[in-house]
Amino acid sequence: MKQFKGRVVAPGKITAEAVVTHNGFNTLASLQKALQFGDKKATVGDQNNPDLYGKAIAGKALCLPQTIGSTTGGMVIYCACSMKRQPACMLFSKPIDSLAAAGAILASVWLDDVTMPVVDSLGDEFLEYMKDGMTVSVDEDGTVTVD
Can you give the pLDDT at residue 69? 86
Residue-number span of the structural domain to which 70 is assigned: 2-146
Residue 54 DSSP class: T
Contact indicator for 138, 63 with CB cutoff of 8 Å: no
pLDDT digits (tens, 9 = 90+) for 87-121: 999 999 999 999 999 999 999 999 999 999 999 99
The count of domains in the chain is 1
Q: Is the pTM of this model over 0.95?
A: yes
Please say if the pLDDT value at position 144 is more than 90.
Answer: yes
Residue 14 DSSP class: E
81: left (phi over 0), alpha (psi -120 to 50) or beta: alpha
Question: What is the average pLDDT across 119-140?
Answer: 98
CATH number at residue 109: 3.50.30.10
Taking the C-alpha atoms of residue 38 and residue 110, their distance in angstroms, rounded to an integer, is 22
pLDDT digits (tens, 9 = 90+) for 67-89: 998 899 999 999 999 999 999 99
